[in-house]
A = this chain, B = another copy of it.
Amino acid sequence: MVTINDVAKAAQVSTATVSRVVNNGPKVGAKTRQRVLDVMEQLGYRPNANARALASQRSTTLGVVIPELTDPFFASLANGVEVVARNNGMQLLLSTGLQSAETERQAIQLLIEQRCEALVVHSKKLDDATLLEFASQVPGLILIDRYIPAIKNRCIWLDNMEGGRIAARYLLSLQHTQIACINSLHEIDDPRLRQEGFEQILSESGHPLSDQLTVRNEPTLKGGELAAQQLLARDTPFSCVFAYNDAMAIGAISVFEDNGFKVPGDISVVGFDDVLISRYSRPKLTTLHYPIQEMAESAATLALQFNGSESTESTKCKYIPTLVKRESVSPEQA
């Protein structure tokens, strides 16, 4: 590969001047600049980002850790970070955590080794202590979808509990009283918090959530199908269900319909996340919008400025999901 030296020689200037041209720095005469530019073009010069990063002590990469790329939810998250990277002329370095603490740790470490300018981390498996440790080592590290009080201004998270409340209020407002809940069985905060908020409102309304109508399963399409079957097998009537996420909701809907229940006619279903498929499904899914891309963008922006100055405490950290009414919920018509 042609180096800055080759360019310097060919253009009969010092490497310093070439460097200035490359970085659009000042203090370069118009003629010289043009000559250097021409030589660069002609030689096909591509500055070595590694050397640049090393010499300048700053890099043009933005790192992001997500569990997996193929989940549309995380793809949106990565996308949000990518948008910010692009807007700042940076590159996206992506590592997947694959749902295991050890891979999550490795992913973060690798990104640190790459000396990313900033890091947006989605970690559910690593414990607070480990994350705090990383955060203390890396200034531009921001956690997304996670809340750790000690570094609360470096966390961007969704108010899951409020999400549960919103769903509950909505269902109650439509006169539903026999309410079911399909939750994830993963041992993370989200399922717990969503259900907690949900139950809270139901209890307050005098229609507490019945254990009979609460089931857990994998937070996937398949898991939703199984959960729906369990629910049906309980033989306790219900007119609506609050699902942990859109995938489970859609899985559940297909089982309900296969069993002769119309959605939303006989059973209303509300999902969570509002990922793309909720718009593709039939009926289109009523769900809680999780503004993940927006959150990711804000996380990345925050990460970038955190790295620079420690100021600007103004960023919004807590996001509230919003209800998106589509076609999978109707008033109770008993």
What's the Cα separation between A296 and B94 when bound, in Å?
16
Taking A48-B54, A281-B282 as contacts, is the C-beta distance between A61 and B115 under 8 angstroms? no
Count of chain copies: 2
A46 within 8 A of B: yes
**Given A46-B113, A115-B48, is A250 in contact with B280 using a C-beta cutoff of 8 Å?**
yes
- Interface membership of A110, Cβ < 8 A: yes
The one of B44, B68, B93 in contact with A137, judged by C-beta atoms closer than 8 angstroms, is: B44
Complex: chain B residue closest to A2, CB-CB: B137
Complex Cα–Cα for A70 and B82 (A): 11
Select A113's contact among B49, B68, B96, B281, beta carbons within 8 Å: B49
Q: In whole angstroms, what is the CA distance A93 to B282 when docked?
A: 37
Given contacts A46-B113, A49-B114, A91-B95, contact A78 B69 (CB under 8 A): yes
> Is A47 engaged at the interface, CB distance under 8 Å to the other chain?
yes
- Which residues of B sit under 8 angstroms from A276, Cβ to Cβ? 70, 72, 277
| Contact among B91, B110, B115, B280 with A281 in the assembled complex (CB-CB below 8 Å) | B280
Q: Complex formed: what's the CA distance from A111 to B114 in Å?
A: 14
Q: A38 contacts which chain B residues (CB < 8 A)? A: none
11 residue pairs bridging A and B, Cβ less than 8 Å apart: A46-B113, A49-B115, A50-B54, A51-B54, A68-B79, A70-B79, A92-B95, A93-B94, A94-B94, A254-B282, A276-B277
Q: Does A160 contact B (CB under 8 A)?
A: no
In the complex, whether A279 has a CB less than 8 A from a CB of chain B is: yes
> For the complex, what is the distance from the CA of A314 to the CA of B94, rounded to whole Å?
30
Q: Is A287 an interface residue (CB 8 A)?
A: no
What residues of chain A have their CB less than 8 Å away from a CB belonging to chain B? 1, 44, 46-51, 53-54, 59, 61, 68-70, 72, 75-76, 78-79, 82, 86, 91-96, 109-115, 137, 221, 247, 250, 254, 257, 276-277, 279-282
Evaluate whether A280 and B279 lie within 8 angstroms (CB atoms) in the complex, with A69-B82, A91-B114, A94-B94 already known: no
- CB–CB B96/A93 < 8 A: no
Do the beta carbons of B279 and A282 come within 8 Å of each other?
no
The smallest beta-carbon distance between A221 and chain B, in angstroms, is 6
A94 engages B92 (CB within 8 Å): yes
* Contact (Cβ within 8 A) A69 B59: no
Chain B residues near A82 (CB, 8 Å)? Answer: 69, 94, 96
Please name the 6 residue pairs, one residue from A and one from B, whose CB atoms are nearest each other, closest first. Answer: A50-B53, A69-B79, A50-B50, A49-B113, A49-B114, A75-B75
- Name the residue on B nearest A221 (C-beta): B280
- Known A61-B114, A221-B279; further 17 A-B contacts with Cβ < 8 A: A1-B115, A44-B137, A46-B109, A47-B113, A48-B113, A49-B114, A50-B50, A50-B54, A50-B114, A70-B79, A78-B94, A91-B114, A92-B94, A93-B93, A93-B94, A276-B277, A277-B277
